[in-house]
Amino acid sequence: MIKRYSTAETDGLFSEVGKMTRWLEIELCVVEELANAGIVPQEAAAACRANAPVIDEAFVSRVEEREAITNHDVAAFVDVVQQAIGAPHATWIHYGLTSTDVVDTGLCWALRDVCQLIDTAITGLASAIADIAEKHRHTAMIGRTHGIHAEPTTFGAKMALFGLQVLRDRERMRRAAEAISVCKLSGAVGTYSNITPQVEERVAARLRLLAVPATQVIARDRHAEYLYACASLGTTLETIAVELRHMQRTELNEVREGFAPGQKGSSAMPHKRNPISSETITGLSRVLRGNANVGLQDVPLWHERDISHSSAERIVLPDSSSLALYMTRRMTRIISQLEVDEANMQRNLNALHGVVFSQSVLLAMVEQGMSRDDAYRIVQSAAKTAMETKASLRDVLAADPTVTLSASQLDTAFDLSRVLQFAGRGIDALRASI
């Protein structure tokens, strides 16, 4: 991932040093468990651990130099490790393994750790959303459908629903973490021809992974599920971002992204204050969805394996991991620093002179015995008059002889507190779920 959208944690996990550090630990664990099984001499296993090289940039450089000859990254890694440990004990490194035993187990290990980072970030985001939702539990605003004024809602209710969706993404990520936290050390075509299932299980337990049956590779539906979880999370973040972008439009001006001292909104127009963070999240979510498609295409492989998935995964898995974590943290900052303009919310709510209570009036008239269609036509006409003349819908209805509602019945129909009395249900559900 380019530096602009990466995180220090994912950079470390997917660096060559991080990757080879995991590879080495897998190799050493296998040797030690083979020794416990009586296959490898105990002194050889001890020597491999004691003389194991430090995985640093210098080690990575030596592997890259060797790979220029072997044209195989794992073979080059094994050669350099064996050279560092020295004969005769080093000959037990990579005993009974195929390269994907090490690569796939190491990759699943990294993805499990990323899932934990993302899970923590999602919980932090949900908490930030819950805080702002609670703060604005009673902040009334206009709800919009098709971009058009519909009925009153609250800003707290709007945010709470976003928070609940975020928590559903946390559940998806947790399921993906369970699916990806696996290990395979079963050899060239997965038949345990040189390493027993018992050794595999003991190594898996040491790595906090689950040993699973496999061919030469771990089935890629697991990785596709992880990429989908990242894409789903990104799409949820985009859903929030798009709403905030709309609400920040000049004509609405209901919320504004935080603006730091010294920040510039435009290189040309000093007055500009743009929703750049929300727009960034919108763009990056497209990358996550594209990567999820790559993950699905990586699932069908030839026979017991091919490497058509490998080149694509080297890009999409680290990139999606970085983006999912980065975007979640950035959205948390947006929410935590969001400026909410309650006055403009109130102004927009009242902009159409009360026509947003039209359904309440319609239902009140139906309760009085009028047919729904007749009531609908009367209220529809009155709403049109109110908007054209900028008169209060309540006043227009009160002056209409076909409207049989009393003054108190009209008051009830236009009572904002009645309309919003259950609007906090989503906020309560969010608080209970975090």
Q: For residue range 151-205, what is the model confidence (pLDDT) as tens digits?
A: 999 999 999 999 999 999 999 999 999 999 999 999 999 999 999 999 999 999 9
Q: What is the pLDDT of residue 66?
A: 97
Whether 266 is in a domain gets the answer: no
Secondary structure of the chain: what % helix, strand, coil (to 5)?
65, 5, 30
Inside any domain, residue 263:
no
Residue that is written with structure tokens 């195989």 in the block = 72
Residue 267: DSSP 8-state: S
Judgement on whether residues 29 and 153 belong to the same structural domain of the protein:
no
Q: Indicate if 29 and 129 belong to the same structural domain.
A: no
Identified catalytic residue from 146, 303, 408, 417: 146
Q: Are 406 and 427 found together in one domain? A: no
- Residue 25 sits in the same domain as residue 158: no
Q: Is 87 in the same domain as 15? A: yes
Task: Tell me, yes or no, whether 127 and 87 share the same domain.
Answer: no
Residues 282 and 311 in one domain: yes
Residue 112 lies in a domain: yes
Cα–Cα separations (whole angstroms), residue 415 to 143, 412, 420: 16, 5, 9
Domain residues for the domain of 359 are 355-413
Q: Is residue 226 part of a domain?
A: yes
Q: How many structural domains comprise the chain? A: 3
Is 267 domain-assigned? Answer: no
Structural domain contains residue 365:
yes
Residues 146 and 160 in one domain: yes
> Are 50 and 152 part of one and the same domain?
no
Q: Where are the alpha helices (DSSP H) in 181-218?
A: 197-206
Burial class (CB in 10 A: 0-12, 13-18, 19+), 288: buried
SS3 357: helix
- DSSP H stretches of helix in 136-181: 155-180
- Among the candidates 70, 95, 120, a domain finishes at 95
The last residue of one of the domains, among 52, 77, 95, is 95
For this structure, is 146 an active site residue? yes
Q: Assess whether 201 and 78 both reside in one domain.
A: no
Q: Would 268 be classed as within a structural domain?
A: no
pLDDT tens sequence across 392-420 = 999 999 999 999 999 999 999 999 999 99
If the chain, 434 residues long, is cut into consecutive pieces of 10 residues, what is the mean pLDDT of each piece? 94 98 98 97 98 98 97 97 97 97 98 98 98 98 97 98 98 98 96 96 98 97 98 98 97 95 90 94 98 97 95 97 98 98 98 97 96 97 97 97 95 97 97 94
305 domain residue, yes or no: yes
CATH number at residue 397: 1.10.40.30
Q: Are residues 160 and 233 in the same domain?
A: yes
DSSP 375: H
Task: Supply the pLDDT for residue 266.
Answer: 87
Task: Single out the catalytic residue among 193, 266, 308, 311.
Answer: 266
Task: Judge whether 218 and 104 are in contact, CB under 8 Å.
Answer: yes
